[in-house]
Amino acid sequence: MQRSAPRLTRILACAALPVMLVVAGCSSDSGSDGGSGGGAGDAAAKGTATATASATPSPTPTVEPAKFAELPQACKALTAKTTSSLVPKAKNAKGTAAASSDLSHRAGCSWNGLEDKGVKGSQYRWLDVSFYRYDSEVSLGSGQERAQENLAKELGKVQATTGAKKLATTSATGIGDEAKTVTYTVRKTDEDFVYASIVARTGNVLVLLSYNGAGYAGAPTPDAKKIVEGATKAAKEAVAAVAAANK
């Protein structure tokens, strides 16, 4: 009974206090010294953690940077030695630049000419090169990916050339990161024109090169193998010019 007197005194004292104080200060007798009584505090802590997590910003989307920022001067991308050998009697030895409103993204140049060989007839040649550069954009993908996608599209266009015969597509090694060569013949002006078109990609730049020729006035049709060799040589120079323009 002596041990119960202090406890009874405390209970009576607490009974005289306001209800909020009783709950806060007098309920300790029934609990232990463990941690089971922190319900309200735990809820508040969880709420704060949730708010903090919600306030954390989402990572900013990123995309692989484009490899090349510039294009070469198209009419200077091929050496004079190469253009003169592929188009011996070009109307404009320096090449004719293609129209472009943005030379940092699109550029091109062409050469054409008719070499008169007298009684042996004449040989006609046409050479052109085009460059397309793609920037990296979060909504569209990296420049390299965009160039790859457009390589497939441009290749499809070449393969769908109207009137093309003996069409064949092969992989071209040693030209940029990837390249395809399309060969075919087209009959026009009563002559057979032999074509070699190369679609190549180097980084985020697409290089399109076409070389073709025909024999006139009794001259023989150009050898398809030589046309491919000429196109390959020019395409390699064009790809190298892209890298040189970005040094």
Decide: 13 and 21 in contact? Cβ < 8 Å.
Answer: no
Residue 181 has a CB neighbour count (10 Å cut-off) of 22
What is the pairing mode between strands 106-116 and 122-133? antiparallel
Domain limits, CATH 3.40.1000, in the chain? 74-245
Global pTM reads 0.76
Say what percent of the chain tops pLDDT 90. 74
Residue 10 pLDDT grade (very low, low, confident, very high; cuts 50, 70, 90): low
Q: Residue type at 237?
A: E
Residue 49 has pLDDT above 70, yes or no: no
CATH number of 74-245: 3.40.1000
- Give pLDDT, residue 55: 62
Residue 214 has pLDDT above 70, yes or no: yes
pLDDT tens sequence across 70-118: 999 999 999 999 999 999 999 999 999 999 999 999 999 999 999 999 9
- Give pLDDT, residue 60: 78
Decide: 199 and 206 in contact? Cβ < 8 Å.
Answer: yes
Residue 160 has pLDDT above 90, yes or no: yes
Output 47 or 167, whichever has higher pLDDT: 167
Residue 24 has pLDDT above 60, yes or no: no
Q: Residue type at 129?
A: V
Q: For residues 130 and 154, give the distance between their C-alpha atoms in angstroms, rounded to a whole number.
A: 12
